[in-house]
Chains A and B, each alone.
Chain A
Amino acid sequence: MSLLGAGRGAGVLALAALALLTLLVPGGLRAVDARFGVQGLPATYLPALEGPRSRGAFDPAPMQEIARIRASYVIVGDSMAGTRIHTTRFEELVGRPVGDVMQAGSGPVFWYLALKNWVIASGARPQVAFVFFRDTNLTDVMFRLDEDYRWNVDRVAGEREDEVNAAIAAAGGWRRRARSAVERSYGADRVRLWMPAALTDRLARSLVPGRERRARFLHEMNQRFDVWHVRPMDAADVSAPDDELADFDYYVNRSVLPLMLRDARAAGIRLCFVRVQRRPVGRRPPAQSKALQTYVAKLRDYVVSHGAIWRDDTGDPDLTIDMYADGDHLMTSARPRYTEILFQRVRPSLQ
């Protein structure tokens, strides 16, 4: 029977059948998961973001190190901190031990958890924790939280991180809730955990026989594409901030910034937020949109009103283009100089 032959009614039926099948066929994913999937995976500490999975282990070493040296100052951040602060020079300047929990390719969730689970948990009670960030990163809870970066969050996350999870859920809004609901209703969140990996594993197995050889191959490939082998500008991740994220009032309570300020205050640690200067253009700092300028002004007022120290490198005449290596990173040789400049600028606040 043809659609046109049967008239409009059959046409409507066919369209409905098409839509129904589209919605029903993915229902088979549960059966596929039951047959091939890994069962009994533990619940994640970020259920707003992902289904059950095997996580990387918590790494207590940085916490133990901070406790061991009785750090008076701690540096928190990603490569923006790592390529700016010369820890030894900083120790000479402040005359006290300086600890660091810097992690390349990390975001605000890592920074907050590092503060809570490493710095505060160490019991060292440093006087000041410096938190380095770029533009809107502090209130963008999703910055560097996708699967590529989850491993470094695993290193620092506890068994449950309900408050971080709540911030992520709030930041995602109805979109993430709707997507999660659809994925869970079909069991796709569970199948996602193993099927894409099974595809790549299968391919690796057929290309590189032998478990050990395959492990070596995958290790070599990970090394070949790691941050040390990519072009400087890619490693520096210099994309301009999105003005959509520069809505401070909307994002601040959907971020981990309030948690950071609250926990630091409760632990007697003063926070110093350092907004690094993006790569200058010629002899000038990079242009900033009006939205970003408004955002930064609000962010400054917010953290200062919560007792934190604010430092914005942007526009500092001493931070010149010749100090920059690739993107927003500074050259290794410029780190002592930067550390001295930062110390001079924040010294009055530290006393």
Chain B
Amino acid sequence: MIFHSLDFVVFFVVVTAIYWTLPHRGQNWLLLVAGYVFYGYVHPWFLILIATSTAIDYGAARAMEAWPHRKRAFLALSVVSNFGMLGFFKYFNFFVENVHGALVVFGLDVSPPMLRIFLPVGISFYTFQAMSYTIDVYRGELHARKSLADLAVFISFFPHLVAGPIQRASFLLPQVEKRRRFSIEAARTGFLKICWGYFKKLVIADNVGIIANKVFALSEPSFPLLWAGVFAFAIQIYADFSAYTDIARGTSRWLGFELTENFDHPYMARSPSDFWRRWNISLSTWFRDYVYVPLGGSRAGGWTWARNVLATFLLSGLWHGASWNYVLWGLYHGLLLVATRARSILPRAEQARPLRAAAVGPGLARAAIIAIAQTAGMFALTLVGWLLFRETELSMIVRDLSLSPFAASAADRQMALYLFLLTFIYSLPLWLQSLWVELGRDAEERRQAEAPSVAWGRVTLQGAACGLAFAAVLIFRSTTSLDFIYFQF
């Protein structure tokens, strides 16, 4: 089931209405049934996978506690089975294709055993989430749960099941286990998030997505057209993915849950490390805690540290899809991190002054120019990354990167400007929100901390904004409904 379908709206209203009439145990059982209905709505056989993953992780975690001297073996069982399923469904054909390619190089052209494998949506997300549970139990940071139902709810919690944010067991499981109370404040803020999420998906992402798709379908794009398309894709992927997160967080609040934030205005980042603190935060921290740190993190320094960064980003790229362009994208970001830290080309985010501080302190003009230049520079680097991400053929990437800005016709330049401005107009609310938060972040945080109340004037403004968002969805909703991009991962 997808968020932007009427089926989901009806489903969510019915589930929420029943949910709050039930006692705690009943709520959990309802969430479990709802999660399985949500996930198996189109392809019921997907449920076999998620149920198998849940059962194995439940058993492995319990066994780790029952037989601590063999806990490494039980962790291996969990890891192999989870990654085995993920690997088969997501990477089997990729692996076979590449083995076949290698054999052809050596003169052995055998017919590869390609399978028509249908990638179950969200498998990468719930697999990583389930893995966090068994790894944390193995590390002794979490105790194994006795209730299979609670663990199953944790893994199949429908608001974030197919596109995250990936929740840690230590964060979400306690919420599953404790009694939940309906909070008007949570419902109100959840409602706002849902409205904003639908607006971002249906008005911004889907419309600029059409521009990106048109450009990336061109057989011979020119330099300006290509980069107008990359800009459109950058907006699309952010609006699309963050929309899913917002709707997930908003609907969760209506059910008494809080999910972690996944985006923090990533295009305001001023360095690669800053970007990765703002983009897909739940996945970045997963890789940090379960790959980068176990590899040694930054403890060793020098080449070992660089190797750890590159390995982590390479795997992160591969997580996105079974294609070399994702590997390249991961590697590119890894190299950016290594290069900027090693050579101090750009300041690390922790050293950079917040934009707002830069805009009001002494030396205002200089600080503001530096801040804007760093943000623009990082955005340009991010765009190069999105080109690698969007262009699935390596030959096309080479072709795209070799395009000359001087070879484009005047007509192409004008078209590119038109598409760029159209994308910018659609994405204006996104930029304004990012700027507003970035510039007023301190004041906003303080206000929320000191006075957690909302005035009527603010409610009226929020209602009007939601109404305008709804009107915009009715008018600008693209007739070509695009799936959430991260569904394919």
A residues adjacent to B (C-beta < 8 A): 1-5, 8, 11-12, 14-15, 17-26, 28-29, 146-148, 174-175, 178-179, 182-183, 186, 188, 191-192, 195-196, 199-200, 203-204, 207-208, 217, 220-221, 224-225, 229-232, 234, 243-244, 281-283, 286-287, 289
Contact = CB atoms under 8 A, between A and B. Distances in A.
A175 B6 contact: yes
A224 B415 contact: yes
Contacts of B55: none
Contact of B475 (A8, A196, A244): A196
A196 B421 CA distance: 14
8 contacts: A12-B184, A19-B463, A20-B463, A29-B475, A188-B474, A204-B418, A220-B415, A225-B217
A25 B6 contact: no
Contact of B463 (A3, A5, A17, A28): A17
A203 B418 contact: yes
A209 to B, nearest CB: 12
Given A200-B422, A225-B214, A231 B467 contact: no
Given A1-B455, A174-B6, 8 more contacts: A2-B451, A19-B463, A26-B471, A146-B480, A220-B415, A221-B418, A232-B219, A289-B116
Contacts of A195: 475-476
B470 A26 contact: yes
A207 B474 contact: no
B185 A21 contact: no
Contacts of B462: 18
Contact of A224 (B411, B459, B466, B480): B411
B191 interface: yes
A208 B421 contact: no
A335 B199 CA distance: 47
Contact of B467 (A25, A199, A200): A25
Question: Chain B interface: which size bin?
Answer: 35 or more
Given A11-B185, A207-B414, A231-B219, A196 B476 contact: yes
Interface string B52-86: 00000000000000000000000000000000000
A217 B184 contact: no
Contacts of B452: 4
B480 A244 contact: no
Contacts of B43: 243
A88 B369 CA distance: 68
B475 A178 contact: no
Nearest to B452: A4
A21 B184 contact: no
**Consensus secondary structure, chain B interface:** helix
A23 B459 contact: no
Contacts of B412: 224
Contacts of B118: 289
Contact of A175 (B5, B187, B422, B467): B5
A229 B218 contact: yes
A243 B195 CA distance: 32
A4 B463 contact: no
A234 to B, nearest CB: 4
Contacts of A175: 5-7
Contact of B456 (A4, A14, A23, A28): A14
Given A2-B453, A220-B411, A23 B470 contact: yes
B466 A21 contact: yes
Instruction: In the A-B complex, list the 7 residue pairs whose CB atoms are closest, starting with the nearest.
Output: A25-B467, A21-B463, A2-B453, A11-B184, A188-B474, A287-B116, A26-B471
B459 A17 contact: yes
Interface string B36-53: 000000110000000000
Contacts of A231: 217-219
Given A11-B185, A15-B191, A25-B471, A179 B217 contact: no
Interface string B445-469: 0000001111110011011101111
Interface in B151-165: none
Contacts of A287: 115-116
